Structure 1
């Protein structure tokens, strides 16, 4: 049975979540596995740059305020980020497992530091449409 990349990432993050809950510390392996993205992602978490945006229908997205001041949309359920680094380093060149924004989303989930915002279904749809127009 073949293991897909998202399954590997999910397993790594699941093990990390257990370690954080048991020791309240981020494992040292984080930098080994994710490289320099780990430090950058932890910085985003420290700055509380991650917001979980949810709607009454149960849909949700994450928005990450990047270090450049630009906001990126992340979909944790399918391992996606709208940033150029994700498109280039993760999808195109397969050099990284995740970009720093997506890793920050996962870390903020594990550390329970994610800000939360509830919006209407229409507002969430509009956010996604605006993001799509900006990418084009």
Structure 2
């Protein structure tokens, strides 16, 4: 899909159908998040990278693409616990935004990134 998107700015219909077949309704929801530019890549000088996705509910979720993780309840329940899904819509949106080069970029210090991750963990508790 990356090559097809690089050649043109649009994801070909056959790829969209494949996404819908594999990921079901999560594909449409993930594409909506990408269209709304809800994904931000946060990077620090040490090379650490996390993604934050503003969900449709208005809550921000942290995704770690390097280890296939999202902080949303759907990921914990449907992906990890029940194994009903391969990805949640937020993580799929991160991967799609990588392919389409549509994520926002934010550079922060290592301390700021640590604070972001700790704040996320505090809100989960």
Task: Give TM-score, length-normalised by structure 2.
Answer: 0.93
Counterpart for residue 39 of structure 1: 28
Deviation beyond 3 Å, 4+ runs, structure 1: none
Query: Structure 2: 5+ residue runs without aligned partners?
Result: none
1:92 aligns with 2:77: no
1:114 is aligned to 103
* In structure 1, distance between residues paired with 2:35 and 2:56: 12
CA–CA separation in structure 2 for the residues paired with 1:19 and 1:81: 27
What is aligned with 2:11? 25
Aligned residue pair count: 121
Matches within 5 A, 1:1-136: 16-22=1-7, 24-26=10-12, 27=15, 28-136=17-125
Deviation string for 1:68-114 (max 9, x for gaps)? Answer: 00000000000000000000000000000000000000000000001
- Give the Å deviation of 1:22: 4.3
| Separation in 2, partners of 1:117, 1:81 | 19
Q: Distance in 2 between matches of 1:88 and 1:18?
A: 33
SS of aligned partner of 1:64: strand
Q: CA shift at 1:21, angstroms?
A: 2.8
